[in-house]
Structures are given as structure tokens and as C-alpha cells.
């Protein structure tokens, strides 16, 4: 039996019909959404054809009004809209526009969190209040380390929440005014770098930590994890970049004065860049190469004892050495992670005062604004002599005013100062 029977076209884009798969004889109408290749089917709940025609024209007029005034046309639960959005993201992944990790993360957030929060709610009924209340709900209904969901996790989930609502607006399931406004909540967590004293403590402790292990495989893992810490702290790499690093991406070069330095060609999700490090960093790579089973150009640098790519980047080992050394938590009480080595690199470089923020941003693959936002607390250290000027013991040094110095003398002064500035030793020297 045909699904659609007694079909009649009332005008272009508007038809009425009855269904052959039901017992009743009520009419339905199908209305084409203006300027789109989409239709809305509506039950007219009447068996009288004349009444059905009048109702069909009414629904056609109503949909045109909704389109004109940006009023939602379709009504469906958030979970259904989110499922459509996941399929869209999956398609972009298959087309190579985004990484598989991104698609899977979005799907996981929707299923594990957002559907619990508003999955059964009609998407047209979700307003700004549900967005604003999400962080509180998430903390009450979620678990994280130390019993608290991280600010970063909440921000990521809210970003997906807003993306689904923006998709709903594009599909005209909701009005554009329903897309959440405002910035994502700021993360209150500090980037928990090590102080110089803490770093020296970790460096010293880790060497003894390696020797305490009796099993050969354990010694191997601890040795690699230790050198991984040194490399990360001296390059500012992101963990995903380290995970992708192959031996062909590592090289040692010399500058015009014969000084050796390391060049790393790193890649994250879809971006590539070069970064440099002091020549001493080459030693840490060579220590790993010496005990690794796979050291070909296409082999990964950071592997397990069997030569397979280290997907976890020694996370449990690093947590163990931080815990055993008493450095797992910062002075503010925040738990440290592998990212703390990148933050330590940035903090130490800024504290030394010899690096321009622009070049540091280039080295770390980020922006000057991000450096200033997250590491602005370093400025007082760099400018201590200015901040403490006037206090006992910090009297200003008498100097010849620059206005009385010729341009030539200023140039000679800058040149001599540059020659006299000594390069800082790396963190573990």
C-alpha cells in the first residue's frame, strides 16, 4: 500500500495528502520552507477536505511569518539536534577538515554531559538561563580530580553547547536570538609552573628516583620520562606536539658564531612550526635514542619499551615522580600536569628578561596576547629594580642622562652592552 494517497497540490510548495498506513482518513499538509529545499509536514486532524485546505493555507502563512520574523519553524529535543550536529562534525572529519579526536570529543561531551543537562528539553525552550546555570550544575553533578571538575573542562563543554545551539539556529529550529551570548567563563586556575627552587628539587630528585628502581623495564621508563621532562621544560612544546614528534623532526645546527642549537619541527592537530632550543637539549634526545628500539627517521621519539608510540606520554610516571618529590600540587593547591613544563619554560624565559615577548610567542606557537594574559605575573620579577626603586638599598644609580649623550655614543653603549650580556644556562645546567 502506498504511504501517500489522495495527494493534491494547492499551490507551489503546498500539498495535502492522506496516509495509506493508518486507519483514520484525516488529512496532512506538507509546506515547503521559503528559500530552502526543506519541508514541514503537519497533521491537519480533519477528514473534511475543505477544512483541510483552509488549514493548509493557514499553516503555509504561519511558516512564512515565522521565517520573516526569525521564529522557529521546527520543534525537537536538544538530543536530536545534537545528534544531527555530531553527524555534521563527523562529515567534516571524513572530509579532512577536522581531526578525528575533535569529532570524538564533541560526541563524548554531548552524550556524557549535555544530554544529561538538557537532552529531553525542546530546543526552542532552551534560553540564556540554561547556559548561565551550566557551570553550577556541572560542578554539582560531575566528578573531577580532587572532587572538582576543572574550569577548562567546563569551558570546553560550554563551547560545544553553544555550537549546537548555533547549528539549531542555522537550521531554523530556533531563532538566532536564542544562541547564547557572552564570553565563556574565565578559567580561574593559574598555569602552575615550577619556581626555580622547585625545578632544582625535581631535577635532583628525579636522578635518584631512576636509580631506586630495580626492574630494567622500570629503569628504562623512568629514564625516558626524566629526559622527557627536561626536553619539555627547555623547549616549551605542547604535549600533543611531543606525541607527534619523530626522529626526522630533530636536528642540530650551528649559528654564525659556531654555537650549536637544536631545531624541532613540531606539529599539533593541523599546524606545523619550527622551534629552537639550546644545544644542551640535544643531549637529552641522544639519551633517549641510545636506549630506544626504534630510532629510524619515521619512528616516534617518545615510545614505550617495545618501541610503540607513547600515547600517554608517561603520565602515570610523571604523576608518580611529582608526588614522591612533593611537587604534585602547587603552592595554591592546584594539581600539576604535563602542561606545567611548558608553563615553566615560558615563566623562566620571561623571568630572565632577555627574550622579546614577540619571539617567545613565535617559539611557543601562540600569540603575544596569550603570553601577556597568562604570564603577566612575571613582569614584577623582570622589573624588580624599577618597582623597588626608592626603598632602602634600592637607591637609583647615578648615571649620565641620555639626553646628554650623542647618538653615536648611545649606539656604542648598546653595542657594548649586547656583547657583555652573557647567555643564560639552561634550566638543568
Residues 252 and 137 in one domain: no
Shared domain for 221 and 296, answered yes or no, is yes
Asked which of 363, 379, 395 is the last residue of a domain, the reply is: 379
In a domain, 408, yes or no: no
Using DSSP, state whether 126 is helix, strand or coil.
Answer: coil
- Same domain for 85 and 108? yes
Let me know whether 248 and 288 are in one domain.
Answer: yes
Residue 325, pLDDT score: 94
Amino acid 426: pLDDT: 43
For residues 140 and 13, state if they share a domain: no
Dist CA 127 CA 372 (whole Å): 35
C-alpha distance across the termini of the chain, in Å: 84
Based on the domain organization, do 322 and 361 belong to the same domain?
yes
Query: Is 391 among the domain residues?
Result: no
- Nearest Cα neighbor of 1 from 26, 22, 15 is 22
Measure the CA–CA gap between 63 and 49, rounded to whole angstroms: 21
Domain boundary pick from 178, 204, 237: 178
pLDDT of 233: 93
136: Cβ–Cβ under 8 A, 6 or more apart, which residues?
none
| Residue where a domain stops, chosen among 137, 152, 178 | 178
Which has the minimum average pLDDT: 194-198, 311-315, 316-320, 419-423? 419-423
CA distance 239 to 313: 8
For residue range 211-232, list pLDDT tens digits in order.
888 789 999 999 999 999 999 9
**Percentage with pLDDT > 90 across the chain:** 43
Shared-domain flag, residues 121 and 204: no
- Looking at the fold, whether 342 and 210 belong to one and the same domain comes out as yes
- Co-location of 237 and 329 in the same domain: yes
Distances (CA, A) of 94 to 44, 240, 267: 41, 21, 20
Only one residue has cell 643564560, namely: 424
Q: How far apart are CA 426 and CA 202, in angstroms?
A: 15
Beta strands in 249-323 (DSSP E): 250-254, 260-267, 272-278
CATH number at residue 107: 1.10.150
Q: What is the pTM of this model?
A: 0.54
Phi, psi angle pair for 372, to nearest 5°: -65, -35
What's the rounded Cα separation, in Å, for the pair 30 and 12? 11
Do residues 247 and 295 make contact, with C-beta atoms less than 8 angstroms apart? yes
In a domain, residue 392? The reply is no
Task: For residues 237 and 352, state if they share a domain.
Answer: yes
Residue 359, pLDDT above cutoff 70: yes
User: Mean pLDDT over residues 344-363, rounded?
Assistant: 81
> Confidence band (pLDDT; 50, 70, 90) for 402?
very low
Same domain, yes or no: 159 and 60: no
Going by C-alpha positions, the residue among 428, 75, 84 that lies closest to residue 278 is 428
Average of per-residue pLDDT across 234-238: 91
All 3 cell numbers of residue 302? 617518545
Which pLDDT band holds residue 171 (cuts at 50, 70, 90)?
Answer: confident
Residue 190 lies in a domain: no
- Number of structural domains in the chain: 3
Q: Which residue has the cell 540554561?
A: 130
- Is residue 423 one of the residues assigned to a domain? no
In a domain, 188, yes or no: no
pLDDT tier at 235, thresholds 50, 70, 90? very high
Q: What is the CATH number of the domain that holds 289?
A: 1.10.443.10
Task: Give the residue numbers spanning the domain of 31.
Answer: 4-68
Give Cα 382 to chain centroid, integer Å: 29
Phi, psi of 392 (to 5 degrees): -55, 130
pLDDT digits (tens, 9 = 90+) for 6-57: 999 999 999 999 998 888 999 999 999 888 888 888 899 999 999 999 999 9
Does an H or E element contain 29, and which?
strand 27-32
Question: Is the model's pLDDT at 147 over the cut of 70?
Answer: no
Strands (E) across 249-361 are located at: 250-254, 260-267, 272-278
Q: What is the pLDDT of residues 73-109, one digit of tens each?
A: 777 899 999 999 999 999 998 988 888 888 899 999 9
Same domain, 355 and 249: yes
Amino acid at each position: 500500500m502506498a504511504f501517500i494517497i489522495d495527494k493534491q497540490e494547492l499551490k507551489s510548495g503546498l500539498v495535502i495528502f492522506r496516509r495509506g498506513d493508518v486507519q483514520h482518513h484525516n488529512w496532512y499538509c506538507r509546506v515547503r520552507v521559503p528559500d530552502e529545499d526543506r519541508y514541514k509536514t503537519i497533521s491537519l486532524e480533519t477528514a473534511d477536505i475543505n477544512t483541510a485546505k483552509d488549514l493548509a493555507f493557514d499553516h503555509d502563512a504561519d511558516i512564512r511569518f515565522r521565517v520573516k520574523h526569525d521564529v522557529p519553524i521546527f520543534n525537537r529535543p536538544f538530543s536530536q539536534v545534537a545528534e544531527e550536529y555530531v553527524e555534521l562534525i563527523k562529515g567534516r572529519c571524513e572530509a579532512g577538515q577536522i581531526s578525528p579526536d575533535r569529532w570524538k570529543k564533541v560526541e563524548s561531551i554531548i552524550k556524557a554531559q549535555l544530554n544529561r543537562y538538557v537532552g529531553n528539553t525542546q530546543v526552542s525552550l532552551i534560553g540564556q538561563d540554561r547556559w548561565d546555570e551550566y557551570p553550577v550544575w556541572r560542578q554539582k553533578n560531575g566528578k573531577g580530580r580532587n572532587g572538582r571538575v576543572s574550569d577548562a573542562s567546563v569551558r570546553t563543554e560550554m563551547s560545544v553547547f553553544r555550537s549546537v545551539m548555533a547549528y539549531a539556529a542555522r537550521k531554523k529550529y530556533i531563532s538566532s536570538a536564542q544562541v547564547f551570548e557572552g564570553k565563556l567563563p574565565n578559567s580561574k586556575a593559574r598555569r602552575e609552573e615550577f619556581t626555580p627552587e622547585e625545578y632544582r628539587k625535581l631535577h635532583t630528585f628525579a636522578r635518584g628516583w631512576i636509580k631506586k628502581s630495580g626492574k630494567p623495564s622500570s629503569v628504562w621508563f623512568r629514564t625516558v620520562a626524566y629526559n622527557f621532562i627536561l626536553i619539555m621544560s627547555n623547549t616549551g612544546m605542547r604535549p600533543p606536539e611531543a606525541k607527534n614528534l619523530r626522529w626526522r623532526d630533530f636536528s642540530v645546527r650551528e649559528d654564525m658564531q659556531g654555537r650549536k642549537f637544536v631545531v624541532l619541527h613540531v606539529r599539533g592537530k593541523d599546524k606545523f612550526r619550527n622551534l629552537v632550543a639550546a644545544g644542551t637539549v640535544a643531549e637529552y634526545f641522544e639519551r633517549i635514542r641510545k636506549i630506544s628500539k626504534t630510532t629510524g627517521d619515521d619512528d616516534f621519539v617518545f615510545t614505550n619499551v617495545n618501541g610503540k608510540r607513547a600515547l600517554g606520554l608517561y603520565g602515570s610516571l610523571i604523576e608518580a615522580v611529582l608526588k614522591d618529590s612533593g611537587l604534585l600540587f602547587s603552592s595554591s593547591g592546584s594539581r600539576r600536569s604535563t602542561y606545567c613544563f611548558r608553563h615553566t619554560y615560558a615563566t623562566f624565559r620571561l623571568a630572565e628578561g632577555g627574550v622579546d615577548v614577540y619571539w617567545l610567542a613565535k617559539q611557543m606557537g601562540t600569540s603575544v596576547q596569550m603570553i601577556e594574559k597568562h604570564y603577566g605575573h612575571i613582569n614584577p620579577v623582570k622589573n624588580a629594580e624599577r618597582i623597588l626603586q626608592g626603598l632602602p638599598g634600592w637607591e637609583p644609580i647615578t648615571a649620565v642622562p641620555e639626553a646628554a649623550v650623542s647618538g653615536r655614543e648611545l649606539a656604542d653603549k648598546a653595542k657594548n652592552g649586547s656583547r657583555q650580556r652573557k647567555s643564560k644556562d639552561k634550566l638543568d645546567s
